Every structure is written in C-alpha cells, then in structure tokens.
Structure 1
Amino acid sequence: MENEVAAPPRSNLPAGDRSLLLVDDDKPFLQRLGRALEQRGFNVTTADSVAEGVAAIRAGAPAYAVVDMRLGDGNGLDVLEALRRVRDDARMIVLTGYGNIATAVTAVKLGAIDYLAKPADADEVIGALLHEPGDKAEPPENPMSADRVRWEHIQRVYELCERNVSETARRLSMHRRTLQRILAKRAPR
C-alpha cells in the first residue's frame, strides 16, 4: 500500500550468526551498551565477570565478543582465550580504561581484532567488530608524547616479565623503587 512505510533495517550486519558476548563489570555501561547492540541487530548475552563470561562461552560460543580488560575477578584476556579455544572464527574486541600497548599486543595475540578505549559507544564497537582485515587504520591526529612512549615501553617490558617488578627493573637497568613509582602513576598524555 502507498501509506505503508518500510521498517528501517535493524543493522548492516552480515548474514549469519549474530550472537555477541558482552563482558564488563560496570553494570550501567554493560546494560546501556547491551541494549544499543541489540537495537543494531545483535543477540546479546551479558556477563559482569570472568567466571560468568567463561560460563556463557561454555553454554554457547558466540560469533562476536566485546570484553573489558579489567574485571572484578580477573583479566578479560582470560575470556578471550576461552572463546578462542572453542571458536576460532569469533571476532573479539577489548574495551579498557587502562590502555597501553603491551596489553593491546597481548589481546591481539589472543585473537582480538581491535582494542578500544572506554567509553566507547555502540557505533565504535560495531565499526571495530565489522572492520575488514585489509582496511588500514587512520593515523592518530595527536601522536604520543615522548613521556607516553617511555611509559608504554616500560609497561610492555613489565607485561613481558609477567608483572614481576624486580625482573622488569633489571631488564630496564632501573632501580626497583623508581620503577614502582612509575608504575603507580597514571599514564602521561
């Protein structure tokens, strides 16, 4: 009929499995992002801990996952690792408010396709999930300062040393207490 208006498409997702696991311990953010992703066509399962995330994966491995890096009961990378073991084709991204290059590299090694800083909105998350492997990221408008590059290097070595302060200080030829003071501070801009 003439007066009928076609309903807008729910999303531009590719056909197929639209199951998504969303893991974050910030419950208001988890609910808000979960609703927004459902409105865009995903079948969302939420979890607010590593244990719940792993249990959700055992119940049914999703095609997509959005996981916070730091959770109340552990590291979100454990959730990525559990999903990668049961579903190799899952597209995963990491959200974090504590971003650094070392954890981003670890996340990518575990199969994450992107690493987003919080707060990320649903459009950014979907853009990262559906990003084609051949597309290149835009260069940053504001490159890192020298202090930030130094801090990132220290964080990378710290992660490589499995968060052992003494070993990290030895490898960086730095006094252990100096390293502890650097690690206790926020990342420079």
Structure 2
Amino acid sequence: MTTNNSWLLVDDDAAFLQILQRALKRHGIDATCSHSHAEALEALDTQPFQNCVLDLNLAGESGLQLLPELLAKQPGLEVLVLTGYGSIATAVEAMRRGATNYLCKPVNVQQLLGGFEPLAMAPELRKEPPSVEEMEWEHIQRVLNEHEGNVSATARALHMHRRTLQRKLQKHSRWRS
C-alpha cells in the first residue's frame, strides 16, 4: 500500500463507508474505514494516509473535535469534511481547524476526488445573495456551533423556545435530504 493512494474514511454509517470504499478502489485508492473517533485515531497509529474523508457527525460526536487530533497525529494529512447538514458557520470552523475542504452530502466519488483539488480549481461560487431562510439557518448553525451542539443552550442564546429550534433543525434536515 502506498501513501499516495491511501485514504482514511471516518463515518458512523457503515453502508456509506462500504460503498465509498469500493468506489475509491475502482479509482486505484486504498481506503481504510473507521466508524468512530477512537477507530480513526487507532488507524493513524498503524499507517500514514494521504487523505481523510471525515463526517461532521460521528454518532453524536463532532468531527470538528476529531479534526485537530487527526492533524496532530499526521500533520500532512489532507482532510475533507462531509456533512448532511451544511452551513457556512460549520464550513468556516472546519477550515479554521485545518480542513482542506468541506462538502455537503450526498456526494459522488468524482466530487470527493475534486474536493482534494486546489481551491483555485473549485467551481465558481454562487452569485445570488442568500435567502432569508438560508441566512437564518446560517445564524442558527453558528450559534449551535458556539454552544458545541447543545440545543437547549442554543435556544436560550437565540431567545427561542427549545422545541421551536428543534422543529427548525428537523425541518431543515428534511429539506436538505
């Protein structure tokens, strides 16, 4: 196994990892799967990796918390963060913590491979301004991130009832699917 074609995949969805691992193998990439924070760190102790695909939500744990630990173990590691609940706030935080790129699920293998290309090669960003709903979602995500995912603390900071916030989060997750 060469480090040039060795990837670490970190996601708690076993089916997604298996499909992704097979797809990458067809592109000549050897991928090791980890389903948790601890498994990912153990995998880094066994071999060097060139790239890492890291899910933002690992069965209740934050991939953002794991990101600096991955980079501390292997400083040259390129980490692409994946999420089903994308927001500008979490994208900025992922990049601040050392991520190479940030993509929203669902993604295909070509998008993942392109996600490790230099940002100069990235497609042009959207030109129209965000909608009010998108701006509200971004603000909610920023405050949620500041409170480390704690919905009750986020609701208090937003001066919003907790159930109202939960409905907004649930509604948005259905909309994103």
Residue 11 (structure 1) aligns with = none
Higher mean alpha-carbon deviation, 94-103 vs 117-126, is at: 94-103
**Partner residue of 2:56?**
69
Structural RMSD (CA): 2.7
Give the count of matched residue pairs.
Answer: 173
Judging changes above 3 Å, is the alpha-carbon distance between structure 1 residues 169 and 88 closer, same or farther for their aligned structure 2 residues? same
Match of 1:59 in 2: 46
Q: Find the residue that maps to 1:134 and give its secondary structure.
A: helix
C-alpha displacement at 1:175, in angstroms?
Answer: 3.9
* Residues 23 and 49, structure 1, Cα contact 8 Å, conserved in 2: yes
Bigger shift: residues 179-188 or 139-148 = 179-188
Counterparts of 1:50 and 1:23, CA distance in 2: 8
1:47 to 25, 28, 34: 34
1:68-109 deviation digits (Å, cap 9, x = unpaired): 111225222233222110222211101111212222122111
* Structure-2 residue corresponding to 1:128: 115
CA distance in 2, matches of 1:23, 1:156: 24
1:20 counterpart letter in structure 2: W
Matches for 1:139-150 after TM superposition, within 5 Å: 139-140=125-126, 144-150=130-136
Per mean C-alpha deviation after superposition, the further-off stretch among 92-101 and 78-87 is 78-87
Long gaps (5+) in structure 1 = 1-14
* Structure 2 residue 89 is matched with structure 1 residue 106: no
| 2:75 pairs with 1:88 | yes
Shift of 1:44: 1.0
Shift, 1:57, TM fit: 1.4
Instruction: Letter of the 2:141 partner, please give it.
Output: Q
TM-score w.r.t. the length of structure 2 is 0.81
Q: 1: CA distance between counterparts of 2:89 and 2:108? A: 24
Contact 1:84 1:110 in 2 (8 A): no
Q: Are the equivalent residues in 1 in contact too, given 2:3–2:50 (CA < 8 A)?
A: no
Contact 2:3 2:48 in 1 (8 A): no
Structure whose alpha-carbon radius of gyration is higher: 1
Compute the TM-score of the two structures, normalised by the length of structure 1: 0.77
Secondary structure of 1:156's counterpart equals helix
Relative to structure 1, the CA distance from residue 73 to residue 57 in structure 2 (aligned partners, 3 Å threshold; closer, same or farther) is: farther
Relative to its length, the structure with more helix (as a share) is 2
